[in-house]
Structure 1
C-alpha cells in the first residue's frame, strides 16, 4: 500500500504549466529525460529537488526545505484554477462562479486575506473566456466549430443545419439517444421560448418525449421565425432522420401551446370542453352559447367576442383531436414550459450569444444522459402532488358517473367546469 507520505498532486501555473504539490510544498518541472522527471522547489532560494518516473510516480526527494510549507498558497492556486476552468467551460456569470467557489472552499483567514477580490480577478477570467470563444456572429451565416457541434462526450449533436431560404437557417441539436427516445415516444411535448434565443434567431423550439413516466428534453431547435412552412420543414427533417434510423416519427399525441394572444383568459366552461369525450364537444359548445344568449345584454356583449373567437378558431379551424385531452392524465404542456424556465435560469440573461447558448444545451444534453442512466437504474419519476392526484380523482369520478348513466352529458360538462374553476383558483393562491 502506498504511504500518504508519497502522495503527490498537480496544479496548473498561471502560465498554464503543470506544478507538483507534495506535503504543502510546490515544485516546478525542471527537465524530463527518457525515464525521469526532475522537479525543483518553486521557492527560488530553496534547493530541494524531487524526482518522479514518466507516470508521475514519486521516486525520491533530495534535500530539506529552507522555508515553511505553503498550504494557504496552494489553496489559493486551487481556487484560482477552479475559477478559470469554470469560466472557460461554463456560461455562468463570473461573479456567481466566484461566490459559489468561495462558499465551496474552506479557506483560512490568511488565505482569504491574500485572495484577490472578485473585481480584481474578473478581468483575467473574462479574458480567458473570450479566448476560448469564437467571434460572435451578427447574422445566421456563420461557421460552427466542431467543438460546438458535438456533445460533451464528443458525440454528434448538431443533426440539422440547413438554410430553408436565403440567409434563413434552421439548427437542431440532438444526440442519437435523444432521437431514439423522441421517435419511440407516443406522447411528445413541444414549446417555443424567445428570451433564451440568440438574437440572430427568432426562437428556441424544444421537443420532449416520455419514458418511465418521466419527461425528457430531446431536441433543441433554433428557428428563424414562427411561420407554418418553417414548422413543416422541421418536422419533415425529423421524419427523414427517423427513416434513416429505421424508426418512425408519428406520435399519437402532441402537447403544444396553442396560445394565439387573442384571448388572455378563457372561461372555465370553455376550458372544460377539452376534458369532455370527443363526441360531446360540439353539442356542449352549442348548448353553452345558448345559455350566453339568455344573459343580460351587458354580459352578452362582453362574452360574445370570446365565443366568436373560440368557435372560429378552436372549433372550426383547429382539429378537435389536437386539443381534446379526454382520457389523458398528462393534459398540459407544463413539462416543456418548465424546461424553458430552467433554460432561461441557466442562461442568466436574455438573448445570449450563439456560443453561450450551445454550451448551455450541451450541458442539458449531458443532464439527459445522467437522468436516463438513473431512470434505467431504478430511479422513480417525480411523485405527483396531492393537488394533482385530487383533481385526477375528481375527473375519474365524474367520468365514471357519466359512464354508468348517473349523470347526463350536460351534468358532466357542468361538473368538469367546476373542477377547472377550482384548479384555477388554487393556482392563484
Structure 2
C-alpha cells in the first residue's frame, strides 16, 4: 500500500468525508475504480466510500474487528474467564476467526460457536448478543468477511499513521 493522498480533517463526519471524496473524485481520482476497499468499521467513512465507489466491495479490517471484539470482551469482564477457562478462550478464538469464512457461512458458524459455548457452560450470553447485534446485523457478513482476500488488514496504513503520530508526539496534533 502506498498513500497517494494525505488529508488533514477536523472530524470524521459523513459530510466531511463526502467533501473530501467529492474533491478527490473530481480532481484526482476520476478514473479510479477499486474493486475492494479495506477500512475500519467507521460508519461515516464506509457509507461515503460506498457512495463514491459503488462497484467496490467495502470490507472491514480483520485486525480492527479482532481488536474491537477483544476490547468488548474485556469491558464486559470476561478476561479472567477466558484466561482460566479453555472453552471460553476457544469460543473467543472461534469468534475472532469468523471473518476468515465466506460471508455465506458466517451466521451458521456463529451459531455453532454459540452452541459450543452453551454446551460447555461458558457464561457469556450478553457477549454473544453483542456480537450478533453489532457484527452480524449492523456491520453485516459481507463487510465482515475477508475470505479469499490477499490482504485482510489495513495495517500498512496503520503503521504509517503510528509513525506520523510519533513524529508529532501527540495523538491529535493541532497544526496551528
8 Å CA contact 1:275, 1:324 repeated in 2: yes
1:232-243 → structure 2 map (5 Å cutoff):
232-242=18-28
Describe the shift of the 1:274–1:228 C-alpha distance in structure 2 as closer, same or farther (beyond 3 A): same
Residue 120 of structure 2: aligned partner: 295
8 Å CA contact 1:255, 1:332 repeated in 2: yes
Q: Cα deviations across residues 337-392 of structure 1 (Å, max 9, x unaligned)?
A: 1001111222244544426xxxxxxxxxxxxxxxxxxxxxxxxxxxxxxxxxxxxx
Residue 254 of structure 1: aligned partner: 37
Describe the shift of the 1:295–1:231 C-alpha distance in structure 2 as closer, same or farther (beyond 3 A): farther
Describe the shift of the 1:286–1:325 C-alpha distance in structure 2 as closer, same or farther (beyond 3 A): same
Residue 149 of structure 2: aligned partner: 328
C-alpha separation between the residues in 2 aligned to 1:281 and 1:274?
7
8 Å CA contact 1:344, 1:350 repeated in 2: yes
8 Å CA contact 1:263, 1:306 repeated in 2: no
Q: Cα deviations across residues 149-206 of structure 1 (Å, max 9, x unaligned)?
A: xxxxxxxxxxxxxxxxxxxxxxxxxxxxxxxxxxxxxxxxxxxxxxxxxxxxxxxxxx
1:225 Cα deviation after fit:
2.1
**SS of the counterpart of 1:225?**
coil
1:24-423 → structure 2 map (5 Å cutoff):
215-242=1-28, 246-248=30-32, 250-258=33-41, 264=71, 267-296=92-121, 299-300=122-123, 303-354=124-175
Q: Cα deviations across residues 25-71 of structure 1 (Å, max 9, x unaligned)?
A: xxxxxxxxxxxxxxxxxxxxxxxxxxxxxxxxxxxxxxxxxxxxxxx
TM-score by length of structure 2 reads: 0.63
1:289 Cα deviation after fit:
1.5
* Gap runs ≥5 in structure 1: 1-214, 356-429
Q: CA RMSD in A?
A: 2.7
Q: Cα deviations across residues 104-163 of structure 1 (Å, max 9, x unaligned)?
A: xxxxxxxxxxxxxxxxxxxxxxxxxxxxxxxxxxxxxxxxxxxxxxxxxxxxxxxxxxxx
C-alpha separation between the residues in 1 aligned to 2:20 and 2:70?
28
Describe the shift of the 1:216–1:263 C-alpha distance in structure 2 as closer, same or farther (beyond 3 A): same
Matched residue pairs, number?
Answer: 134
C-alpha separation between the residues in 2 aligned to 1:262 and 1:287?
18
**SS of the counterpart of 2:6?**
strand
TM-score by length of structure 1 reads: 0.28
**SS of the counterpart of 2:3?**
strand
Describe the shift of the 1:354–1:317 C-alpha distance in structure 2 as closer, same or farther (beyond 3 A): same
1:286 Cα deviation after fit:
1.5
* Gap runs ≥5 in structure 2: 42-63, 74-91
Describe the shift of the 1:345–1:252 C-alpha distance in structure 2 as closer, same or farther (beyond 3 A): same
Give the strand-richer structure, 1 or 2: 1
C-alpha separation between the residues in 2 aligned to 1:237 and 1:289?
45
1:218 Cα deviation after fit:
2.0
- Greater relative contact order structure (CA < 8 Å, 6+ sep): 2
Higher radius of gyration, 1 or 2:
1
8 Å CA contact 1:274, 1:325 repeated in 2: yes
Give the helix-richer structure, 1 or 2: 2
C-alpha separation between the residues in 2 aligned to 1:354 and 1:328?
37
**SS of the counterpart of 1:218?**
coil
